[in-house]
Structure 1
Amino acid sequence: MRMVDRPGARVRVAVIGTGLIGGSVLLRLADAGLDVAGWDPDPATRDRAQGRGVVAPATIEQTVADRDLVFLCGPLPTLPDTLARVAELTAPGCVLTDVGSTKVEVAEAADRLGLTDRFVPGHPMAGAESAGLTAASPALLAGAAWVLCPMPGAATDAFRWLTGLLVELFGARVVPMSAPAHDSAAALASHVPHLLAGALAGATQRAPLRDAVLALAAGSFSDGTRVAGTPAERTANMLLGNRDRVLHELAEVRAFLDGLAAELRADDAPALIARYTEARAARLALVDRRFVGQAREFPAGGDHDAEVTWLRGLGDAGGHLTGCRIGPDAVSYTARLPVAD
């Protein structure tokens, strides 16, 4: 992938924050041969990055100087301020993106700062319960669903270019969505599961027979509590950053759970079976999704509203982009849409 205004040059990238996700981005870009530098506020982490063969300057200023693309990968509450700082330190043509697990707050900050022409809110849907650069891997994000939030207007150019790069370098399935749609979907897909995992693991920790429970724990317990091993501060930041949507979806989950409990209490086997049959359908759809290909082309310039409307509709329908080719007169997308159950 090459910047359109510098034919023949390597893409120059900076990664700000080199924990699990940022570190994995950094290592993959380095493996791909890009000119990449990473910065972290922790000097020991910068030393580890250098030990893994990656350039890790002492300051943000040195790290982002003369870059084509900057990934903002610090803690969620710091992203708006980091965005403002990095924007001041980079040229207007430098594309900015983030990897935060909520999108509305940082998207609104970009709008206030007048950065919607070059900031593309992003969220790779991958991770682990471990943390830090020591847990990072260049393969962690391979093939991940990677949400990008396109906005009408000139920001489409940054979105197009970043989409192509993520597909090429990470094999990403780019899911285009509006920031509010992402936060609503992520609440149920990611954030509420952290609440449920924490509740199950927390109740076990307090149980009189805790050690016996852990001795008997098999796949269902291990799968259901995996994300409870995530560092507590990271989980709290994610939940608080999407509080209203998380609480709304939690109420929906609680209503379904209350129904299960009522049917169990009433010894109503048919109703219990029916409810689990409904739940099983979602699980089967997850593990056996089938897709159909789609291609669309839009004018490279002019009014981008139709393009953005199509992109957001694709993501809302569960689809993703598999490619983006930018020509002098048109941009061509290849996509995949799920087949109806």
Structure 2
Amino acid sequence: MKKAILSLALATTLALGAGYASAETRITYKSAKSTSSYYQMAVQIAEAMKAGSDGDIIVTVEESQGSVQNVMEARARGGDYVFTTPPVLVRLAQGGKAMFEGKSDPKFDEIRALFPIPSLTMHFVMSEESGVTDFAGMEGKTILLGKGSFGAREGEKYLKLFGLDGKVDLAEVELSNAVAALKNGQIDGFVTAGSFPAPNVIEAAASTGVNVISLSDNQIAETKRTKLVIPGGTYAGQTEDIVTTSLPVVAFTTSAMSDDTAYELTKTYWEQKEAMGGAAPWWNGVDTGLMSNITGKIHPGAVRYYEEAGFELTPDQQ
């Protein structure tokens, strides 16, 4: 009898253990370089998933060298793979264009969106002392663009588009030193791209006083980027809304992920977003309006959540 009871207890323990193991979902989240704000976001998402699921969803964050690498790895990863990238790169991969020319793969067609995360947002920051309040006023000023980053490339493009090519002095200073250079008068302004509110813009606005330049609708159209409005009051001294451009960023997976897993990831993300925003303000820039930035198919499991929650989806997203 004792042996029978012990056997039953052991069997029950094993069954409970098996049930626990099957309930736990493990996800690999491929993000960005460990020094970037997007890596910090990935860590916050991992913590939010664990908290919001009572430990049933465990996310491991992987460092990445960039969005192109994230998309490329979708060819070989399984149903536990989540990665971040601008939707435009997914379109290019699926079409075998640009950096994906000659590297097309049928698995690119299986990429599916889950949810939007903070966009890469352009900031054109000028010191109050410079008196510059629009792009035309930047002529003859010393501007820091940085090197090699999306913001630097985009900033250079905008200077050419708006007739400032060769008409501003480009500072040879690292972007990490932008605020110090602005304070000591070494530069008149700097260009940076990142989720808003951007830490370096917060620091510059609080310590030096700045004007963050808005773009007109015509200028935004020329850039061929997505319009984004930074609400007034986001930065010290900026009482009016700042109209600028952005590069949307979205968390993706593939159709190899189960519908239930995609549902739980998406549901937990939106339910935890407010709590994440309390710890890091850049999450407060994410709302239902960013859903329009998802230009491809959304995973069916995520679609189930969006329909339950009353989100409006386009036919192309479904």
Q: Same-fold call, TM > 0.5?
A: no
Higher relative contact order (CA 8 A, sep 6+): 2
Q: Bigger radius of gyration, 1 or 2?
A: 2
For normalisation by structure 1, the TM-score amounts to 0.27
TM-score, with structure 2 as normaliser: 0.29
Report the structure, 1 or 2, having the larger helix content: 1
Higher strand share: 2
